[in-house]
Structure 1
Amino acid sequence: MTGTDNQASSNQMTGAEIVLQALRDNGVKHVFGYPGGAVLPIYDEIFQQDDIQHILVRHEQGAGHAAEGYARSTGKVGVMLVTSGPGATNAVTPLQDALMDSIPLVCLSGQVPTSLIGSDAFQECDTVGITRPCTKHNWLVKDVNKLAAVIHEAFRIAQSGRPGPVVVDIPKDVQFATGTYTPPEAHDVQKSYQPKVQGDLNRIKQAIELMANAKRPIIYSGGGVVNSGPEASKLLRELVELTGFPITSTLMGLGAYPASGKSWLGMLGMHGSYEANMAMHDCDVMVCIGARFDDRITGRLNAFSPNSKKIHIDIDPSSINKNVHVDIGILGDVGNVLEDMVRLWRALPHKPAADRLNDWWTNITHWRARNSFAYKPHDDVIMPQYAIQRLYALTKDRDTYITTEVGQHQMWAAQFYGFEQPNRWMTSGGLGTMGYGLPAALGVQIAHPESLVIDIAGDASIQMCIQEMSAAIQHNAPIKIFILNNQYMGMVRQWQQLLHGNRLSHSYTEAMPDFVKLAEAYGAVGLRCEKPGDLDAAIQEMIDVKKPVIFDCRVANLANCFPMIPSGKAHNEMLLPDEATDEVVANAIDAKGRQLV
């Protein structure tokens, strides 16, 4: 046998073996999945190797969110493995979540044998058709010889350009069949997908000129800065320092610029700070970096930042001029563009006068003085804002990662937990997926086994994917679930109160589980705290426990999340806590006749 014959023979593998080898060659160490008939050949190969650790979840949605948390906290691609039919349809929610929040995800799904496709076979569905709108790209692989190349391309597409999810659907007979394995360096790259990563230098120069002449500038950063990698965050901080511009961020961009930074205005948008939203409304030059002008940020579009020149930097060409018309659109990876901007700013022949922004900062200081996150503390009940403040105080100096569910607690976490570094904040921004936080925390803990991982949760959201506590126990992942328990679907209740005549339709939870007993039933530790004076000691106990914990933090039932831009209003029409109390809250009574706190 010749050397060529030996090489060809060594490249001959079953489809299932090809899947595992392709994952190894793409640097995969962990896969989150749930077995089923259509993926049993792949699971058989997983059993016979030790290179890749499989994390068994309890629901395919949990697999996807865990892979998202893993990806968001590491910057790597998250991988999920599901069976055909309901396995694939259960993956749709995390796929759409990853698409909207630009999370790199590879979903491998099993499919019925090729001879049965279209026959309504057991656990058959049109996975490619169903997932086409919620992925960057997807494939149905009918030829085992093309399988390796497709998986390599899936990883390239998931993590390049604007990151996002992809699906590779693999029929069962293809997993059994024998074919030739193609290594990553030998596969054919899809020529139709070549993201532009370098920004147009002339446009960047125009942007710098506009910025240098600004009197009321603002930098509006988003999740694209985090996705671009740690160097992009460093360059963003350098640009802020050089220019002296104030900076705000979307929910997904928190941590790219430190919350303790002198130029930080806090998060902007519907529940953002007064100073951030007022500065966005009154600015004369806006520099949008890696954000997409979504509705939670812009408020009423025709009143959004009406007198500003807008610069938009994004790697996704479809995002530029999609929602808001901009004056200078720069297509490219934000890390590369920021590098050019810093260099060109330093090379300006005449540096802008240092005092030209004094009046602007005076205005911002005036807006800050409104203290838009203020709340009234109580001696006998834990206010949810206070709970987050104490959690932050006791965990900020640790190696901490925070995930959230979706609702009031998510907004309070964004308002009161200060993030100093990128990739420490995992939340569902675009899709707003209840149930995201617990499995995401599992994924983060698997990626960072020695770190403190906390899911800030609500009593309603946490029950969406509560079964993943079992996965945390099985895999020795000591995640902490910090529930702000107010007995309500808090954000739903708040909107019903403010916008629907206080008709609280099905937003009160009549049959709340005992979370301490529930934790113990799973083999975790359950804690409960009801008094502000006991909170610090209870949080410290939660931190010190080396097992998964469910912390039932009983907070004021009817606290509202302010400030708030009401639906259809502009940034300068925010409801602040004091105004809301006077105008809206004073006469509010809940469904059980209790006066709102």
Structure 2
Amino acid sequence: MQLTGAEIIIECLKEQKVDTVFGYPGGAILNVYDALYKHSDEIQHILTSHEQGASHAADGYARATGKVGVCLATSGPGATNLVTGIATAYMDSVPVVAITANVGKPLLGRDSFQEVDIAGIVMPITKHSFIVKDITMLADTLRKAFYIAKSGRPGPVLVDVTKDVTAATYEYSVRRPATINREVETIRKEDLETAAQMIEEAKKPYIFVGGGSVISGASKEISELAHKIQAPVCDSLMGKGAFSGEDPLYTGMLGMHGTKTSDLGVTQCDLLIVLGARFSDRVTGNAKTFAKQAKILQIDVDAAEINKNVLVDASVIGDVREVLRRLLEMIPEEQHPEWIEHIQEMKAKYPLTYDHSQLTGPYIIEKLYEITKGDAIISTDVGQHQMWSAQYFKYKEPRTFLTSGGLGTMGYGLGAAIGAKMGRPDKTVVNIAGDGCFRMNMNEIATAVRCHKQLLQIVMNNHVLGMVRQWQTLFYDHRYSHTVLDDAVDFVKISEGMGAKAFRVTKMEEVEPAIRKALAMDEPVVLDCWIDQDLSVFPMVPAGASLNEVFDEEDMKNNEQSV
């Protein structure tokens, strides 16, 4: 049948079983929005307050559901406003397809109104970027974009379509989406045998779980492995939920703000089994001293990650879940009672602690976990609140912790929460932000209100840029250069002005009633929680230091007394 390019775009979305898109219209993409109008009963469009919000919403939708997130934007500034969200998805391997419309083909390269080479701009932060200037290539390009976004190591793909292509007509016929198979052809028998031998010989094994384990859906296999070989388990920020935070073998996050048990345990182990993690500098600290006592076995779908940041002793390339399934059949049950007892002693000796005499971020997170029983999707922005959310909320399932790990994008969380809620409307969704982050994209509260969905926004309001201030306290001799937010911004009034319910929380005894009241409402609610500006995140490993140099407030006090 003969369809316009705009109609072909919509039909291709329907082919891919896309039910929700996030975006913001403009002149160049008007044909697509007109076609979308005619299919509003099949594809739901969420109008965000800003294109960046649309890209984060598509990202959050993808992380929460495992499906491809889709966002739309017009040419020029509409397209460039997607860039931060696309880079966020790229750094965390999130499957997103961004569809933009450009000026007509005759106007390209002429500095036309709202013209920009968006395909060129995003080239370093996408798996692939396309510009479609010929309608005969449109449908196949879109199909290819979805395949690339989903296959192997997922990631964002951008398709830019000139306006004249969206208006032209061409023959369209329905095609089933290409099957996405797990990466198994790279799994070599000899690599599996080496891995099995290393596991069998280890006396002090440790498992480190990364975001690839979530993407692979390997939770069941990781649990089986940990219990079969009696190995403690730590995770990265992106790996949260791949192994239950309530399991006795779980020791907490690894790295700069990881637990002392995880940081010291990895330093002491004799085998580190790394599942879908890329050895970020925030995890390893000084890469030259990382896990120096251990042999390292890395399992990852992306061969480029092997020996990139940390040299490993052996590796298996392939889908994490499939590798573990094969490996589990090859290894015997192992018991390491002395090692497990040592780890449990460290967990008892080095628990996460905070000041219980005043309202703090950790107290709010613990109350949220207690009230929701851990059955919620938590999104965050970036900073102290993000680390507290990783430390004090126990994630039992994958795809329940959405955060910008690689890029560290302030302003990410609210858009992601909206995307998650649209993708999984049955789940309680909570975004946790600092006041510095909330300022960046708080206009998306208006989007949340328009969606008519229950959503809780918690603002950890300390009137400073908390994590940067913490570094200024520890490493810059208390020189608080431009990190104090001493203005009259009232988040309660602003949120109410956008149509949301909002409450201020200033005391510990107000936290539980406020959270329960908010979660009982079938609409967006903002809790403006005032906490002290000098609260810090501990434990901490200084940037570039070794993991065994991890310290907490107690260590700082002891050091001050000994000086």
TM range (shorter): over 0.9
1:478, CA displacement in angstroms? Answer: 2.1
Among 255, 262, 274, the alignment partner of 2:241 is 255
1:558, CA displacement in angstroms? Answer: 0.9
**How big is the alpha-carbon RMSD for the aligned residues of Structure 1 and Structure 2?**
1.9
Contact 1:198–1:337 under 8 Å retained in 2: no
1:544, CA displacement in angstroms? Answer: 1.1
In the alignment, the residues of structure 1 paired with residue 415 and residue 21 of structure 2 have an alpha-carbon distance, to the nearest angstrom, of 13
Q: Which deviates further from its counterpart, 563-572 or 381-390? A: 381-390
Among 210, 215, 222, the alignment partner of 2:203 is 215
Aligned to 1:523: 499
Aligned to 1:545: 521
1:185, CA displacement in angstroms? Answer: 4.2
1:447 is aligned with what amino acid?
G
1:396, CA displacement in angstroms? Answer: 1.7
Contact 2:230–2:340 under 8 Å retained in 1: no
1:572 is aligned with what amino acid?
N
1:183, CA displacement in angstroms? Answer: 3.7
Aligned to 2:273: 287
Cα 1:343/1:438, change in 2 over 3 Å: same
Aligned to 1:152: 143
Mapping 1:95-114, distance limit 5 Å: 95-114=86-105
Aligned to 1:79: 70
Aligned to 1:386: 363
1:195, CA displacement in angstroms? Answer: 5.5
Residue deviations 1:171-222, cap 9 Å, x none? 00000111122544498x99xx996565212201210110011011101111
1:427 paired with 2:403, answer: yes
Among 208, 223, 227, the alignment partner of 1:237 is 223
Cα 1:71/1:200, change in 2 over 3 Å: same
Among 317, 323, 347, the alignment partner of 1:368 is 347
Point out where structure 2 has 5 or more consecutive residues left out of the alignment: none
Cα 1:565/1:436, change in 2 over 3 Å: same
Point out where structure 1 has 5 or more consecutive residues left out of the alignment: 1-9, 588-597
Mapping 1:400-479, distance limit 5 Å: 400-479=376-455
1:557, CA displacement in angstroms? Answer: 2.1
In the alignment, the residues of structure 2 paired with residue 60 and residue 499 of structure 1 have an alpha-carbon distance, to the nearest angstrom, of 36
Aligned to 2:84: 93
In the alignment, the residues of structure 2 paired with residue 198 and residue 167 of structure 1 have an alpha-carbon distance, to the nearest angstrom, of 28
2:413 is aligned with what amino acid?
G
1:439 is aligned with what amino acid?
G
1:452, CA displacement in angstroms? Answer: 1.2
User: In the comparison of the two structures, how many residue pairs are matched?
Assistant: 562
1:389 is aligned with what amino acid?
E
1:237 is aligned with what amino acid?
S
With the length of structure 1 as denominator, give the TM-score of the two structures: 0.91
In the alignment, the residues of structure 2 paired with residue 243 and residue 519 of structure 1 have an alpha-carbon distance, to the nearest angstrom, of 51
1:358 paired with 2:337, answer: yes
1:176 paired with 2:167, answer: yes
1:362, CA displacement in angstroms? Answer: 3.0
1:225 is aligned with what amino acid?
S
Aligned to 1:17: 7
Aligned to 1:227: 215
Residue deviations 1:121-164, cap 9 Å, x none? 00001111101001000111111111111111100110111110
Among 17, 33, 41, the alignment partner of 2:31 is 41
1:228, CA displacement in angstroms? Answer: 1.0
1:240 is aligned with what amino acid?
A
1:555, CA displacement in angstroms? Answer: 1.5
1:270 paired with 2:246, answer: no
Aligned to 1:63: 54
Seq. identity, %? 42
Contact 1:197–1:331 under 8 Å retained in 2: no
1:327 is aligned with what amino acid?
D
Residue deviations 1:449-472, cap 9 Å, x none? 232110011111011111111111
Contact 2:369–2:393 under 8 Å retained in 1: yes
2:485 is aligned with what amino acid?
T
In the alignment, the residues of structure 2 paired with residue 584 and residue 171 of structure 1 have an alpha-carbon distance, to the nearest angstrom, of 64
1:366 is aligned with what amino acid?
E
Mapping 1:539-578, distance limit 5 Å: 539-578=515-554
In the alignment, the residues of structure 2 paired with residue 162 and residue 584 of structure 1 have an alpha-carbon distance, to the nearest angstrom, of 47
In the alignment, the residues of structure 2 paired with residue 385 and residue 173 of structure 1 have an alpha-carbon distance, to the nearest angstrom, of 54
Among 115, 118, 141, the alignment partner of 2:109 is 118
